[in-house]
Amino acid sequence: SQQGEEDPQALSIQEGENATMNCSYKTSINNLQWYRQNSGRGLVHLILIRSNEREKHSGRLRVTLDTSKKSSSLLITASRAADTASYFCATTSTGNQFYFGTGTSLTVIP
Amino acid sequence: DTGVSQDPRHKITKRGQNVTFRCDPISEHNRLYWYRQTLGQGPEFLTYFQNEAQLEKSRLLSDRFSAERPKGSFSTLEIQRTEQGDSAMYLCASSEANSPLHFGNGTRLTVT
pLDDT > 80? residue A4: no
State how far the alpha carbon of B88 is from the alpha carbons of A13, B12, B108, in Å.
29, 11, 6
Q: Please, what is the average pLDDT of chain B?
A: 94
Average pLDDT over residues A19-27: 94
Answer positive or negative: Cα dihedral of A72, A47, A80, B92. negative
Average pLDDT over residues A30-45: 94
Average pLDDT over residues A8-37: 95
Using pLDDT thresholds of 50, 70 and 90, give the confidence band for residue A89: very high
**B→A interface, C-beta within 8 Å:** 4, 31, 33, 35, 40-45, 48, 50, 55-56, 60, 91, 93, 97-98, 100-106, 108
pLDDT, tens digit (0-9, with 9 covering 90-100), for B68-111: 999 889 999 999 999 999 999 999 999 998 789 999 999 999 99
Whole-number pLDDT of residue B1? 52
Asked whether the beta carbons of B4 and B22 are under 8 A apart, the reply is no
- Identify the residue among A43, A88, A92 best suited for mutation to test binding to B, counting B beta carbons within 10 A and taking the highest: A43
**Whole-angstrom distance, CA of residue A4 vs CA of residue A74:** 14
**Whole-angstrom distance, CA of residue A79 vs CA of residue A13:** 8
Q: Closest to A45 (Cβ–Cβ): which among B31, B97, B100?
A: B100
What's the number of CA atoms in the CB half-sphere (13 Å) around residue B34? 30
pLDDT > 70? residue A2: no
Whole-number pLDDT of residue B62? 85
Average pLDDT over residues A60-79: 97
Average pLDDT over residues A48-70: 96
